[in-house]
Amino acid sequence: MKTIIAACSQNLSGSRASLHAALHTLLAVPWPSQRDVRSWLQLLAVLQWVLSFLLLGEWGRGGCRAGRALTHPPYPTGPVTLVLLIYLVFTRFWPISALYLAWVILDWDTPNKGGRRLPCLRRWSVWRHFRDYFPVKLVKTHDLFPGHNYIIGSHPHGILCVGAFCNFITGSTGFSELFPGIQPFLTTLAGNFRLPLFREYLMSGGLYPVTRRAIGHLLSKNGTGNAVAIVIGGAAESLSCSPGVTTLILKNRKGFVRMALQHGAFLVPSFSFGENELFRQVVFEEGSWMRAVQQRFQKMMGFAPCVFYGRGLTSGHSRGFLPYARPITTVVGEPVMVPKIEEPSSEEVDLYHGMYVRSLLKLFNDNKTKYGLSEGDELRIV
């Protein structure tokens, strides 16, 4: 009996020693700090957004051209959901594709008639992590009054329009608190709303096609207090996106001014300082054959094929498809008061276009040294 008791005591002692050793080893492993956890969450928030851009569609590729509709032709990006639905046709799950096709046919015109916005998506906590990755900040210089409607010109386009998306779609930068009573909207390429499932994702987030019908609905049939943001430079401007260079495609972009006059919407310039610092792009010189290919492709397909890179997933020093963590400060300028003229003449459009350009230049020059640029930096408008 004594022998058995001694053996049991030895085993229990050995178990306690093993458990103690295991706990000591576990506690010796360095646990991620609170700062590391925040960094990972921020990286994941940006990753999911970039993947939605690369795999499902393309954000912000909309421009305004004088005398033509506020849209570019659709183009075949975002094939993932389309391929999935086609694949289901050849399986026993074919009714899913059939039902969704019927739904799209019935719902085809919804994006141009106010969409289907879900306010809860605007308050997602993931957007706070997205904001803090860069970080993105919104700066107000003048009040916007709920008794008017507004068209906000968003500059520059950059590669992925991060500043425009974060400030005008998500609630993470406090737009509603800075501009009480104003509801922001962001427009994107109309072709994105022809992509299956992605169209639902865009509408739920509060994006609208950059078409006359959609913008006209927001400005005329949605009451007042609406601010429609348009990335005016569009696809062509992304070809000039490079750190240290600020070139805007705006000189002949006057369609947004005509829309503002027709609906009596005030024009508001905004500029995202740091937008061009998020990626490194291979910029081909004007006159080179590669530049000609890019421009030709942009005219035919509505988007410009850019050669760019950012940071990798595992390290900020590696190369990959994620944007660099660079501060973005979006400054919203002084509104240009616009009368309502149902059939504005070319002279009237030119007059208010010139007023908008001067207001934008003043906004840039007054704030450039505050947000990372030097006194000698100039804003080129072509």
Is residue 59 scored above 80 in pLDDT? no
CA gap 228, 212 in Å, rounded: 12
Contact 230, 187 (CB under 8 A): yes
The proportion of the chain whose per-residue pLDDT surpasses 90, expressed as a percent, equals 50
Q: Give Cβ neighbours of residue 202 (< 8 Å, ≥ 6 apart).
A: 57, 111, 188, 192, 193
pLDDT of residue 377: 86
CA gap 381, 361 in Å, rounded: 9
Contact 249, 61 (CB under 8 A): no
Average pLDDT over residues 152-165: 93
Is residue 154 scored above 70 in pLDDT? yes
pLDDT of residue 300: 67
Tens of pLDDT, residues 215-245: 999 999 888 999 999 999 886 787 666 666 6
Contact 46, 274 (CB under 8 A): no
pLDDT of residue 16: 59
pLDDT of residue 69: 38
Q: Is it true that the peptide bond before 156 is cis, omega within 30 degrees of 0?
A: yes
pLDDT of residue 244: 62
Contact 165, 284 (CB under 8 A): no
Average pLDDT over residues 241-254: 82
Q: Number of H helices and number of E strands within the chain? A: 14, 12
Contact 332, 140 (CB under 8 A): yes
Average pLDDT over residues 99-126: 90
Average pLDDT over residues 124-153: 96
Is residue 76 scored above 80 in pLDDT? no
pLDDT of residue 302: 57
DSSP state of 33: P
CA gap 282, 290 in Å, rounded: 11
CA gap 290, 37 in Å, rounded: 43
Contact 228, 255 (CB under 8 A): no
Could you give the 3-state DSSP secondary structure of residue 12? Answer: helix
